[in-house]
Chains A and B, each alone.
Chain A
Amino acid sequence: MRKHLLQGLIRKPLTEAAPTADDAALTELAASLERAARRRLGRSLSIRAVDAGSCNGCELEIHALNNAFYDLERFGLRFVASPRHADVLLVTGPVTHNMREALERTWRATPDPKWVVAVGDCARDGGLFAGSYAVAGGVSAVVPVDLHIAGCPPSPLQLLKGLLALVEPPGKARPTEAKAG
């Protein structure tokens, strides 16, 4: 084990340069993310992932955010085990009727201010599963959504770009954002 730890110290890290925040995500967020709230949270957000009916593809790529290449925590973003510790709910899947109440209760358990990020094409409108007797629809059919990250599943890089929009200092990247405050 010492060999592995030593190599970890002397080798160059695998972690890659940060991407810039996704423009579309910044625009979508401008309306919902207030300047004051951003100031209060600083560059630190706790994220709680909720699978509300996904095929598990999105979860795999969300997991990858924690690997050495993407290293999500360097941006102050981290996954937490309880909605009570979370600022952000990262919700995947078409919301199934069987998960609807669990999602609502998780959302209610998350303290304000909070944001909901819907991840994946199914989370927008149910995707391929829209119209099924077992599916309530996209995430916004059940809880209010602030940001949507598209993809089937979105790659870790797409996820990272979307999430960075949450901690991007307002005004710096988009001067037109002042109207949101």
Chain B
Amino acid sequence: MPALADILQQGRAVRGHRPWPRAIVAPDVWTSVGERLAAGQLTLLGLWGEADCVHLALLDETRAKIGVVSLPCPDGRFPSVGRHHPPAIRPERTIRDLFGLEPVGAPDARPWLDHGRWPLRQPLGPRLPALGPLPYRFLPAEGESLHQIPVGPVHAGIIEPGHFRFTAGGETVVRLEERLGYVHKGIEGLMAGADLGRAAQLAGRTSGDSTVAYALAFARAAEAALGIEPPSRAVWLRALMAELERLANHFGDIGAICNDASFALMHAHCGVLRERVLRAADACFGHRLMRDRVVPGGVTADLDAAGGAALRPLVAELRRLFAALVELYDNTASLQDRTVASGILKPELARRFGAGGFVGRASGRDFDARRAPGYAPYDALHFHVPVREDGDVNARVWIRIGEVGQSLSLVEQIVDGLPDGPLSVRPAGAGEPREGLALVEGFRGDILAWLRLGADGTVARCHLRDPSWFQWPLLEAAIEGNIVADFPLCNKSFNCSYSGHDL
């Protein structure tokens, strides 16, 4: 089995792409990569376009290597990867919608993000006149007494918009098809030409619950491109913010999953823990969600002595309160009756889609970007990555429970080991075009950020890939055979991002 390095050697290496290599390849190499993805030899990290070319970010999991292959598309076409490897289907539909590049042989010719509502078509490519809304044909499901249930885009709760088309036989879901793109804001379009400051703000508003993780991914990509190192105090403070963000989201999710099984007590208690974390974040960094605190070059907020001193007792308190809630979850049979064996995601599917976060780790995929490829300061910290094989709602709850324990320990380690020093270095333009790539572990999974900076340091092109791209399709598979009433439960246990996906 040839390594990723061999594939990259078949192409022409691109100078100024950091920290991992990028190579421009011929169509036959591009196609062979698609076949290798399908064979499970490589994992798809991202697939995105530009006006005249397409890029594939690849992970060789056994060797922990990352690389990008690019294919120029002078005639506006490229061989479909989705033809071999289903996780590429939605990214390819997106490339067609945004850039007008045609994936030849693609199994699904329908638009994805473009609902025919924009004032133009292919907005980042040839910018053609709009055709107006066209009917969207959902995939068929045939059988006796089947009925359809359309849900959304406006949902009953306080959640993001998206459309779910259920086909059910009685109570049982026989097919779920998602239609997303409702919150497409054109972030990649707004990024083009933005200076680093504005682009970092946009990155931090890609998915509100992961504002630290996105800002961190963007900053790391920009720093890699420019070849600058943020000061070590900034690196540690970033990790502190990232772990606080993970804690707040996991507390919220665990409560919300139980709430969708009508166990409101857990929701109320977890809501209190989440609020405590957000208030601590506000006290330490001046913003509850820590938005705009991570910037290229460092951080904009320091942790003073009082903040550090307040975090230690908070961690102890959270640990004590959460232990009682975990016991409550574990000992409530009526709750477990809903979560155990519901919404099972098979390990083979999680692996094929390269599913990150608790979705992947609850189905046997032992991957965490903090550990491999890894980034500072996690190499200096102790944590383990919980993994299970059972893949049901219950497993996704337990992965979160395990990660809460790890993040609490990480917060303590960071507060104890926080080095002194400056908070940022000034990111200066390199005087030539540069490219950078970063992979950062958000609470939901690994976030990929790729960018090209112009000689003046402004963003020429930036692509941000949410973990949800490779989790949303799996929800369709996990819900099959479950009852319609368990969909909110299964959906919440995945908690995919709409905004991060729609971009």
Contacts and interface: CB of A to CB of B under 8 A. Distances in A.
Consensus secondary structure, chain A interface: mixed
A22 to B, nearest CB: 18
B186 A55 contact: no
B19 interface: no
B185 A96 contact: yes
Interface string A100-139: 1110001000000000000000000000110111110000
Interface residues of A, number: 49
Contacts of B201: 128
Nearest to A99: B182
B323 interface: no
B206 interface: yes
B51 interface: no
A133 B123 CA distance: 7
Nearest to B497: A56
Contacts of B209: 56-57, 60
A4 B328 contact: yes
Given A51-B159, A62-B158, A57 B211 contact: yes
Interface in A57-72: 57-64, 66-69
Chain B interface mostly helix, strand, loop or mixed? loop
Contacts of B189: 132-134
A132 B185 contact: yes
B119 A133 contact: yes
A159 to B, nearest CB: 12
A130 to B, nearest CB: 9
A155 B154 CA distance: 23
B104 to A, nearest CB: 26
A94 B502 CA distance: 14
B271 A133 contact: no
Interface string B463-503: 00000000000000000000000000000000001110010
B265 A99 contact: no
B161 interface: yes
A82 B208 CA distance: 24
Nearest to B123: A133
B274 A102 contact: no
Contacts of A53: 182-183, 185
A4 B198 CA distance: 47
B454 to A, nearest CB: 20
Interface of B: 113, 115, 117-120, 123, 153-154, 156-161, 181-187, 189-190, 198, 201-202, 205-209, 211, 252, 265, 268-269, 271-272, 274-275, 278, 282, 288-289, 291, 324, 328, 331-332, 497-499, 502
